[in-house]
Amino acid sequence: MQNKFYVTTPIYYVNDQPHVGHAYTTVLADVLARYHRLLGVPTFFLTGSDEHGQKVAKAAAAAGLTPQEQADRTVVRFQQLWKKLGITHDDFIRTTEDRHKLIVQKILADLFQRDEIYRAEYDGWYCVPCERFFTEKDLVNGNCPDCSRPVEKIKEANYFFRMGKYQQWLIDYIQTHPKFIQPDFRRNETLGFLRKPLADLCISRPKSRLNWGIELPFDADYVCYVWFDALVNYISAVGYLADDAAFQKWWPCSVHLIGKDILTTHTVYWPTMLQAMGAPQPESVFAHGWWLTGGSKMSKTAGNVVNPMEMAERFGVDAFRYFLIAEMVMGQDASFTEDSFVRRYNSDLANDLGNLLNRLTNMTGRYFEGKLPAPAEDARAGAEEKELWDAVQLAVTTMERSINEMRLQEGLGAVIVAVKAINRYLELKQPWTLAKQADKLPLATTLFTAAESLRVCAGLLYPVMPEKMTVVLRSLGQTRTTPQLDELRAWGVLKPGAPVKEFGPLFPRVEKEAVSDQPAAVSQKKPAAAAAVPGVVELLDYDYFAKLELRTAKIMNAEKIAGADKLLKLEVLVGEERRQIVAGIALYYTPEQVLGKTVVIVANLKPAKIRGVESQGMLLAASKGEKLVLVTLDGELSSGAKVK
């Protein structure tokens, strides 16, 4: 077992309100911290705010505030968001705090004294928004190589850190420590950057140009460059040069989580700074991708910036946390759209997880007076029970691996597969049929096995959705609702006789705007509108109804139709006959969810082409407002039966 886990987020600039990028890194760090705490590993989770530098000074000037006032006001928005999102950081460091400023000054004084920092005349190019210096060669089409904006010519005396002399050492270090920069392609990016000669780093700004920063201890006319100041937060927060015991305990950090745009500062500036200080290197730096809207960058001017506070308020904190972790392949860019959010919410959370809890609590209520029944002694000897337990244990193994390999989305995917397996197990065992037998033991075993399996899934999901999974565990009758990871491998943790009940719907379905005019069905031509008298339903002769041929049909195959996100192409069995039906249900059901269901179809409609695909019938569904549920049978009738 690891002896400790220390995770950091970047410290965020307090020039503007938090957005989804900030929320992502912080939720990710929180999930990792929570997993390690569950594993019993001593954990330290650090986040904070980057309060000096030009960006903050500029925002303050625009708002008519002092930079400190600007920082004081904005930092609260980050702190409130972390509270709302259930973030469990152990410390929040602000770079304007004395505990940080004093350490930065100590480091500067020491490096200056040892000639790791020197004074020189600087003549070159400067990018104001990025606050970085560039040589002529660095520029791309005469502009900043990072943000492509115009640069300014600058000539002034400054202080420089001898970063260049560490170039070969850094290349060797990266090559001999493959875990140091992750994912691999980011490691190659840094090595690529290091193929060009590494210049020394300008670490000062003359006060005449910018006075919002930490004063250099050896020259009161200058403040420290904001990045040199900011990076030090990772060690000043854990006692560097102040509290040796704390520093020894936590440093080196296990993982610095960062966005891909701040790779160079974290994998070139920071390691060389630490090397010059004589401090150990962090174990790893993990750079994640960017959240885009559709395919484009989020930007204030485009008006497409996702506001995390608003998302959490509209859809719930846990659902938002889940989406962030499940949707982004760690390291790659991902797209944040409301559509993708709602789709994932409805399929993974409302349908798979929420429904499962609802079915279990309902059936326990109905058949066992709301008390978890005791299973057969050899419950897991049954083939289906064994298969299900294996599927659930596979999710445990996958989750463990996914945490170590920083592929959390895979772990979550495995849990949802396990949840689906529990749902399938219930379909297969048909507790509603077992309930008719005199011997209640098979029914008890079925419900207990499903509940135990759900308990394990809830434990695995707990670090991502702590509030909702606490509800699940309470619903299953657990009194201690913080799961322990070793219990996830154990069978029989739930106690027979414990009260099982639902505390309201776990994830109420989110209904998007109407999917189509005739959502469930097949947008065959609409019948001529009945006389439009409000509240009056036109009455029909029986003969009219008798012409309709309604039949049961079993869904054998289901798939999405490329380019039509509301439609599913179904292959159904009607008695001996196979038919293809196109149904507008894809926003309500995934293909997996409809597989095996026995539905009711209108069997004597003329075939129609929908998006070029032939549809030979129409499904019946009940819809109210924007809700839609397929009309299904419990499966006791074979397909092809007439519905009258």
Q: Contact residues for ligand MSP (CB under 6 A)? A: 10-13, 21-22, 24-25, 50, 230-231, 233, 258-259, 261-262, 290-291, 298
Residue 24 or 180: the one with the smaller Cβ distance to ligand MSP is 24
User: At a CB cut-off of 8 Å and minimum separation 6, what does 579 contact?
Assistant: 553, 571, 572, 601, 616, 617
Residue (11 or 29) nearer to ligand MSP, CB: 11
Question: Cβ atoms within 10 A of the Cβ of 8, count?
Answer: 27
Q: In what order do the strands lie in the sheet with 152-161?
A: 132-134, 117-127, 152-161, 201-202
Smallest separation (angstroms) from ligand MSP to the CB of 334: 8
Q: Judged by CB, which is closer to ligand MSP: 285, or 619? A: 285
Instruction: Using the minimum distance from each CB to ligand MSP, give the nearer residue, 265 or 393.
Output: 265
For 27, the 3-state DSSP assignment is helix
Reported as type and span, the H/E element at residue 285 is: strand 285-288
Residue 12 or 160: the one with the smaller Cβ distance to ligand MSP is: 12
Q: How far is the CB of 124 from ligand MSP (least distance, A)?
A: 23
The structure tokens listed for 52 are 């000096």
| Closest to ligand MSP by CB, 259 or 519 | 259
Minimum CB separation of residue 91 from ligand MSP in Å reads: 14
Number of residues assigned to the chain: 644
Alpha helices (H) along 437-537: 441-461, 466-475
C-alpha to C-alpha distance for 270 and 230, rounded to whole angstroms: 10
Estimate to the nearest angstrom the gap between the alpha carbon of 620 and the chain centroid: 35
Taking the complex as a whole, how short is the minimal distance between the CB of residue 233 and ligand MSP, in angstroms? Answer: 6
Q: Whole-number minimum distance, CB 261 to ligand MSP, in Å?
A: 5
Report, in Å, the least distance between residue 21 CB and ligand MSP.
2
CB of 263 to ligand MSP, least distance (A): 9
Round to whole Å and give the CA distance between 93 and 76: 13
Residue 630 neighbours by CB under 8 Å, 6+ apart:
520, 585, 589, 594, 597, 599, 619, 620, 621
Q: How far is the CB of 435 from ligand MSP (least distance, A)?
A: 50
Cβ distance to ligand MSP smaller for residue 294 or 607: 294
Q: Which is nearer to ligand MSP, 322 or 507 (CB)?
A: 322
Measure the CA–CA gap between 272 and 166, rounded to whole angstroms. 6
Could you tell me the smallest distance in angstroms from the CB atom of residue 42 to ligand MSP? 23
Task: Please give the helix or strand (H or E) that residue 426 lies within, else none.
Answer: helix 408-429
CB of 160 to ligand MSP, least distance (A): 20
CB atoms within 10 A of CB 257: 23
Q: Which residue is nearest to ligand MSP (CB)?
A: 259
Burial of residue 492 (number of CB atoms within 10 Å: 0-12, 13-18, 19+): exposed
| Residue 12 or 425 with smaller CB distance to ligand MSP | 12
Strand partners, 632: 599
Smallest gap from Cβ 229 to ligand MSP, in A, equals 9
Percent helix, percent strand, percent coil in the chain, to nearest 5 = 40, 20, 40
A 10 A CB-CB count for 114 gives 12
- The nearer residue to ligand MSP, 85 or 231, going by C-beta atoms, is 231
- The C-alpha atoms of residue 258 and residue 331 are separated, in whole angstroms, by 10
Output phi, psi for 180, to 5 deg: -60, -45
Nearer to ligand MSP, 14 or 419 (CB): 14
